[in-house]
Chain A
Amino acid sequence: MPRYFSVWLAFFKNSLTRDLEYKANFIGGIAVDSVYYLLYYFFFYTIFSYVDKLGSFDKEAVFIFLVISFSIDAFYMFFCANNVYKLNDYVVKGDLDFILTRPIDAQIFVSFRYVNTYAIVSILFLLPLLGILVFNSHYEPNVLQICLFILSSAVGVSIFYAFDMLLSSLVFWFRNFSLVGWLSYEVLKFSMRPDSIYTGISRKILFSFVPMALISSVPTRILLFEDGLHYFLYQIAIASILIGITRLVWLRGLKKYESASS
């Protein structure tokens, strides 16, 4: 594992060197994220001018939930997002060739090759903001809640990754699945709303087959509410299954990889 960390550090260093080369692109990335956050903020701000609560989430909980969602998204962007969406191109153009000839796990290589360095700016902005929001709210999480929240957020990022990677890996069968980015983006929008707004069959789906409710809502519940622990155990179970399926699909997909003519 230390070797993989050294490899990741080299990825990070290379990505940072490259990103700093293109200043406008780097700043543009931060600007796009800021606009994205503001849009969501105004969306929920408008909703709360008409209602007091969204299910069990009051206004404070929803805004804390939003910052948690953004943070999980920013972590995912930082580590994996750029890479997962590139898998389609790798397969279509045969660029997976050089990755598969390396003596390290190809899924890890593909998933972490390019670090989205500008996302670190978002993380550095969002984490203190989260602290301020919680501190100023009427919620008073204890140390255990905070520790479980950190773990649950990490599990949330892994669900985010596993779901995206699972969809992207379908390119091995489809030969070209360039719409995966959009499909994934649309589905992941479900994770940007508190789980309490979903009821009936949609809630069941979002807690199982398409576990978007487990990405940000569960960490929020663990941090703010007292019913979080059983959600956390459930979240770990679903994450393990999803990561296992993704790994299986990836390995089966590699057998279908046909490279591309030179």
Chain B
Amino acid sequence: MSIKVTQLKKSFKMFKRQAGLKNAFTSFFNRKYETFHALKGIDLNIDDGEILGVLGENGAGKTTLMKILIGLLYPTEGDVFVDDYVPSKRNKDFLRQISIVMGQKNQLWWDIPASESFLLNKQIYNLSDVEYKDSLDELVTLFDVSEKLDVQVRRLSLGERMKMEIIAALLHRPKIILLDEPTIGLDVIAQSKIRDFITYYNQEHKSTFLLTSHYMSDIEKLCKRVAVIHQGIKLYDGQFSTLIDNINPTKKMMFEFQNLPSKAILKELEEKYTFTLENNILTTHSPEKIIPEMLADLFAIEKPTSFRLEDLPVEDTMKSFFENPDEFI
């Protein structure tokens, strides 16, 4: 077991005041605090070499979970073991085996080329020249950034910068890699490149990945298993495909007629199914079990010019889930 989290709770004491100058004065002398429960008893086990997606809205507790796993934050209650280490003790051997990439924060020095920061990491992680060269060559080749190594970080594009951030985080070949929104703000090509990289790296080095992303295509393509956190509570832990099926069991079907059927036949269809008809194309969003029967009826009328069956976009599905999670789980 790579990561084992039991009944993890994390609370923050937060200063609270209402807007306005008067309230600012009042709170200066009479400060009011409230406790914000970021995580409310999370259980989570992650196996070696697994890629786990952590889903949740902004403020759900995903980043807090990651920060506890890497030892930045102390748990309020509960147990956390990462490869048998207690992260909050910040054991140096533990820190050599783990790494984090935060899409919204930089670890690279802004004013110098990324290659200089890599050399700094070489010293920090005490890498030999051979280890450093092997690792750097592999990562640079995978990301195809050899020509950008000596360019100042502030002159790189967002996508190039993120690739350099990932290289900096993986130079020491950590066993556990936490990726907090690594593709945020990137164009589709850069997103795809980073996804390909994660897949390759996971297969090649058997590293364990924990990934948060608001782009469902990241999760869909990388994570078989996901954990869904909502307001500090784990709502779901299982196959991503099962979650999607639970949330939205309907499929979209488009059937293009060669010739529009008679009004009587269409009326019969309308009595049995829900659909729209436009330019000879019948479109329906129906439960999966209805589709075969409907398809049989349509083929009985005539062979189509074209026919398509597809799942609803995952983004839309997850959006409807987060709007009302209790309805689905």
Q: Chain A contacts of B103 at CB under 8 A?
A: 262
Q: Nearest-CB distance from B168 to chain A (Å)?
A: 9
Q: Are A98 and B12 in contact (CB under 8 A)?
A: no
B92-136 interface (Cβ within 8 A of A): 92-93, 95-96, 98-100, 102-105, 107, 109, 111-112, 116-117, 119-120, 122-126
A1-38 interface (Cβ within 8 A of B): 3, 6-7, 9-11, 13-14, 17-18, 21-22
Q: Are A14 and B112 in contact (CB under 8 A)?
A: yes
Q: Which of B73, B104, B117 contacts A258 (CB 8 A)?
A: B73
State how many residues of chain A have any CB contact under 8 Å with chain B: 28
> How large, as a class, is the contact surface on chain B?
35 or more
Q: B74 an interface residue at 8 Å Cβ cutoff?
A: yes
CA distance A101 to B70 in the complex (A): 7
CA distance A97 to B73 in the complex (A): 9
Q: Chain A contacts of B95 at CB under 8 A?
A: 101-103
Q: Are B180 and A262 in contact (CB under 8 A)?
A: yes
Q: A261 an interface residue at 8 Å Cβ cutoff?
A: yes
Total number of residue pairs linking A and B with CB closer than 8 Å: 77
Q: Are B116 and A262 in contact (CB under 8 A)?
A: no
| B-contact bits for A86-114, CB 8 A (1 contact / 0 none) | 00000000110110111110100000000
Q: Chain B contacts of A21 at CB under 8 A?
A: 111-112, 152
Q: Nearest-CB distance from A239 to chain B (Å)?
A: 27
Q: Are B120 and A103 in contact (CB under 8 A)?
A: no
Q: Chain A contacts of B100 at CB under 8 A?
A: 97-98, 101
Q: Are A103 and B72 in contact (CB under 8 A)?
A: no
Q: Which of A97, A104, A255 contacts B124 (CB 8 A)?
A: A104
Q: Are A259 and B117 in contact (CB under 8 A)?
A: no
Q: B90 an interface residue at 8 Å Cβ cutoff?
A: yes
Q: Do A98 and B90 contact each other (CB < 8 Å), given the known contacts A3-B126, A103-B96, A259-B73? A: no
Q: Which residue of A lies closest to B94 (CB)?
A: A103
Q: Are A100 and B63 in contact (CB under 8 A)?
A: no
Q: Do A3 and B63 contact each other (CB < 8 Å), given the known contacts A94-B105, A98-B105? A: no
Q: Which residue of B lies closest to A8 (CB)?
A: B123
A-side interface mostly: helix
Q: B79 an interface residue at 8 Å Cβ cutoff?
A: no
Further 19 A-B residue pairs, CB within 8 A, beyond A6-B123, A21-B152, A100-B71: A3-B123, A3-B126, A10-B122, A13-B116, A13-B119, A14-B109, A14-B112, A18-B109, A94-B105, A97-B105, A98-B100, A100-B72, A101-B95, A257-B73, A258-B73, A262-B63, A262-B104, A262-B105, A262-B181
Could you pull out 19 A-B pairs where Cβ atoms are within 8 angstroms?
A: A3-B123, A3-B126, A10-B119, A10-B123, A17-B112, A18-B112, A22-B111, A97-B102, A100-B72, A100-B90, A102-B95, A103-B92, A104-B124, A106-B90, A257-B72, A258-B12, A259-B67, A259-B73, A261-B59
Q: Which residues of B contact A (CB under 8 A)?
A: 12, 59, 63, 67, 70-74, 90, 92-93, 95-96, 98-100, 102-105, 107, 109, 111-112, 116-117, 119-120, 122-126, 152, 180-181
